[in-house]
Structure 1
Amino acid sequence: MTNLKSTRLVRNSWYLLIGLSLIFVLLYLYSALFPGPMQPAVTKFFSQNTAIQARLYNTTPRILSMTEFILQAVLLIGLLFSSLGQTLFRRFVNSNTPYWQACVFSILSLWCLLKILALPFSFFISFYWQKIWGFSTQSQAAWWIDYFKSAGIDLIITLLGGLIFFWLVNRFSRSWWIVGTALFSLFLVIQYLLWPIVISPLFNRFEPVQDAAVVTMVKDLAQQAGLEISDVLVMDASSQTTLANAYFTGLGSTKRIVIYDNLLNNYSLGEVKAVIAHEMGHWRHSDVVHGLIWAMFGGFVVFALLTILLKPWLPEHSKKPPQLWAALQLALLLLLFSSNPIQNSLSRDMEYNADRFSLELTGDLKAAIQLQKDLADTSLADLSPSPFIVWFSYSHPPALARINALLKEAQQTNTAGD
């Protein structure tokens, strides 16, 4: 009876996860194809033509990204649950193959399959589509160099992570997920510490801000905010894109604010000030640390759910089958996809708080609004996205929502500025 209940729980968990993912896919595709009328307030800040062009630009990547997800899920489901998939595993992983060699083969072959499936989508969305809309400044050769760098890093992390995973499930039959959560949390800390100084420089150059006016501005803002800002760096984003951005990253001694050179070169000093103040808001609110804590908690929940979903591939008294890796990839794909709304809701709240901090620090509502307008204009951000798409996939609030929030904050605090 216990085994029957356990089997039913596993089956129902998979059905629930696949069903929820399917519902989200259908709602997302419907929202992308039929986003509804433009919000009337859009034309108060943006031209109608820009709003129409932005919808055209964003629709195709949305549909393609969802198509990629569907194909990945179908591939993994086919490998795990179809007779053809089982035959393939039996053919390539036979009884004469040493166990750890079979595990490595399973990890590498699945990584290759998924990379090959994703490559056309990656190329079209991140290079070709950006090129025809005038955003990419990279040559095709430069794009491929970056792609292979990224793929190489991903391969190393995947292979090491996969071997550690197989060691865990074989060494700690019942408590593997607890040890796994601890190791995952350690990996996150190491990643946050080292990524800015080890990985990011493989793709871009980072130099301290040289503009005297910006340096003075940063010092003044930091003094106002009561912060000790060690590094404000400029990234050579113009070698890859025409888009402008800035971000806050790192932990401890690797904390830094990074500004795209496009932002410094093409935006007013008031807008640059608003951006830097916004990133200082992330610094002041310890958003990287909070994001890290949430990621650790999310890792704990995911590992706990994996103990249910992966149960058919986790025999208690024998080595775990290499097919377990495909089951793990499918479970993670669906779990991370289904949890998108939670992750993005937390991120949007952080962005709103950083916007409020920026306005409080600078007192310049005009520059803050102009920044949102220019960023949306130059990137063709969707100015009236479907509410579902925002809820499901937006890590940052839409431009109009941010402008309205700034106006509301200024009205409440009387910090409208000049």
Structure 2
Amino acid sequence: MTPAARRTSLVTAALGGFAFVVLAVVLVPWDPVPGGALRPADPASLFTPAQLDRAAEFASRTDWIGYVSLAVRLAAACWLGFSRRGRALFARLPGPWWVAVVLAVAAFEIGLRLLTLPFAVLLRRQLLAYGLSTQSWPAWAVDLVKGEAVDIVGVSLALLVLVACARRWHRAWPAVAGGVAAVLVLLGSFAYPLVVEPLFNSFEPLPDGPLRTEILALAEQEGVDVDEVLVADASRRTTTLNAYVSGIGGSRRVVLYDNLVDDLPQDEALSVVAHELAHARHQDVVVGTLLGAAGTGFAIGLLGLVLGALRRRGGGSPADPTVVPLVPLVLALYAVAAVLSSPVQNTISRQVETRADVDAIRATGDPVAFVELQRQLALRSIADPEPPGWEHFWFGSHPTALTRTALAERMAERLAEDQE
């Protein structure tokens, strides 16, 4: 790497990192709980001993599967990407560079999927045994293939852009690729609910009735423009309950699982919707997209520095004709970075989710329904109410049911004070 290219990588990483920090400081709610930190509720106040034992048993049977699968995936990715023998497996892929890059991505992703497939099967067997899955094995396999295809298309597109920029702009490619990748992140957030989500679920408007009327009234009260609330046919796959907001701009949508609509009392369903409307009101999907775009620029700048260092040792460059062996290296770096950055992403997610919880309780004025909702969500998913601290810090994207219960109790006190 030339000194000019190295400077470009440094500047790209610095600007991306600076933008991420500024956006996180300004846009993420770092103190969303009125009155300060919460002390989680007593598990016995929400769950019976039998329910707690069942959750602990389920965790003991499934957690190790996920961790071993992750370890196997990381080990295989690192061998393929960091060892000469691993990269050599990709050196003879046929076709021009853009074909070979796609083939390399497909080979990498499918190879890792096959290695971890036994763990996916083991996990699914546990989900079936505990009644969490309603999907047949053939349907599950089809969804698995669809998911793999989506990953291959998305990763291939990102790497094609990266390599094309490196081939066109030998010195400035990190800056150009970082900018283009940031735009792609924005476009991806817009297109995801329109292109990807329909591959896995069918969506219908929430039928006319008391729930729809209450939801639209709640949206108007919160100042959120909601043309339609969609219901996903999730019950054909799972018994767990969920709702979410996705998309930005014209593709934004509020989606409820059909089993949530069918199985929950209206006051609890409204608590879920109020939570999702809070995400929409605060533009949390947009915030996440902007953070993702900045983080992508930072990552590409670092990638330029890493590849530059490797090139000095004979490791190649994205601009070289023999670029294909670098594909597993880039993918291995991404796999490692995804695990290492998980605490940052999930810490931000927990803060955002907590703010949405606060707003939901305020909007409905019903902390009791909120607590019962959290209990039902935990029971339906057999969630461990007290996961190990390190595990929740590293992998937990939402507050635990016990923390959310403590928040509801705090908010009940605040609501009572406001009424006096």
What TM-score do you get using the length of structure 2 for normalisation? 0.83
CA distance in 2, matches of 1:316, 1:133: 48
Aligned length: 378
TM-superposed CA distance for 1:135, in Å, is: 1.1
Q: Greater CA deviation, 333-342 or 44-53?
A: 44-53
Alignment of 1:189 onto 2:186: yes
Provide the residue aligned with 1:75 in structure 2: 76
Assess if the C-alpha contact under 8 Å between 1:231 and 1:255 holds in 2.
Answer: no
Does the residue aligned with 1:137 lie in a helix, a strand or coil?
Answer: coil
CA distance in 1, matches of 2:99, 2:275: 50
Structure-2 change in CA distance of 1:230 and 1:415 (3 Å): farther
Structure-2 change in CA distance of 1:362 and 1:40 (3 Å): closer
Q: Residue type matched to 1:118 in 2?
A: T
TM-superposed CA distance for 1:183, in Å, is: 2.0
Q: Residue type matched to 1:76 in 2?
A: A
Provide the residue aligned with 2:55 in structure 1: 54
Q: Residue type matched to 2:252 in 1?
A: K
Give the alignment of 1:76-225 within 5 angstroms: 76-82=77-83, 84-85=85-86, 88-89=89-90, 92=92, 99-100=97-98, 102-125=100-123, 127-225=124-222
Assess if the C-alpha contact under 8 Å between 1:364 and 1:415 holds in 2.
Answer: no
CA distance in 2, matches of 1:372, 1:194: 31
Give the alignment of 1:340-359 within 5 angstroms: 340-359=342-361
Write out per-residue CA displacement over residues 261-284 of structure 1, whole angstroms, 9 at most, x where no aligned residue.
111111111101111111111111
Assess if the C-alpha contact under 8 Å between 2:375 and 2:401 holds in 1.
Answer: yes
Assess if the C-alpha contact under 8 Å between 1:364 and 1:416 holds in 2.
Answer: no
CA distance in 2, matches of 1:123, 1:218: 39
Percentage of identical aligned residues: 30
| Candidates 268, 282, 287, aligned match of 1:290 | 287
TM-superposed CA distance for 1:171, in Å, is: 2.1
RMSD: 2.5
Does the residue aligned with 1:414 lie in a helix, a strand or coil?
Answer: helix
TM-superposed CA distance for 1:244, in Å, is: 0.9
Alignment of 1:402 onto 2:404: yes
CA distance in 1, matches of 2:196, 2:88: 39
Structure-2 change in CA distance of 1:156 and 1:373 (3 Å): same
Q: Residue type matched to 1:113 in 2?
A: G
Does the residue aligned with 2:196 lie in a helix, a strand or coil?
Answer: helix
CA distance in 2, matches of 1:40, 1:248: 28
Q: Whose RCO is larger (CA < 8 A, sep 6+)?
A: 2
Q: Residue type matched to 1:212 in 2?
A: G
Structure-2 change in CA distance of 1:261 and 1:226 (3 Å): same
Structure-2 change in CA distance of 1:101 and 1:259 (3 Å): closer
TM-superposed CA distance for 1:369, in Å, is: 0.7
Write out per-residue CA displacement over residues 72-123 of structure 1, whole angstroms, 9 at most, x where no aligned residue.
2222332344454365456x36xx9765554444333223212212322333
Provide the residue aligned with 1:45 in structure 2: 46
CA distance in 2, matches of 1:317, 1:187: 21
Structure-2 change in CA distance of 1:76 and 1:135 (3 Å): closer
Structure-2 change in CA distance of 1:138 and 1:412 (3 Å): same
Unaligned runs of 5+ in 1: 7-38
Provide the residue aligned with 1:242 in structure 2: 239
| Candidates 259, 262, 272, aligned match of 1:262 | 259
Structure-2 change in CA distance of 1:239 and 1:168 (3 Å): same
CA distance in 2, matches of 1:76, 1:198: 28
Alignment of 1:229 onto 2:226: yes
CA distance in 1, matches of 2:240, 2:319: 55
CA distance in 2, matches of 1:305, 1:87: 24
Unaligned runs of 5+ in 2: 7-39
Q: Residue type matched to 2:385 in 1?
A: L
CA distance in 1, matches of 2:319, 2:252: 46
Q: Greater CA deviation, 207-216 or 52-61?
A: 52-61
Structure-2 change in CA distance of 1:246 and 1:316 (3 Å): closer
CA distance in 1, matches of 2:297, 2:316: 19
Structure-2 change in CA distance of 1:321 and 1:196 (3 Å): closer
Q: Residue type matched to 1:357 in 2?
A: D
What TM-score do you get using the length of structure 1 for normalisation? 0.84
Assess if the C-alpha contact under 8 Å between 1:194 and 1:254 holds in 2.
Answer: yes
Q: Residue type matched to 2:338 in 1?
A: L
Structure-2 change in CA distance of 1:67 and 1:173 (3 Å): farther
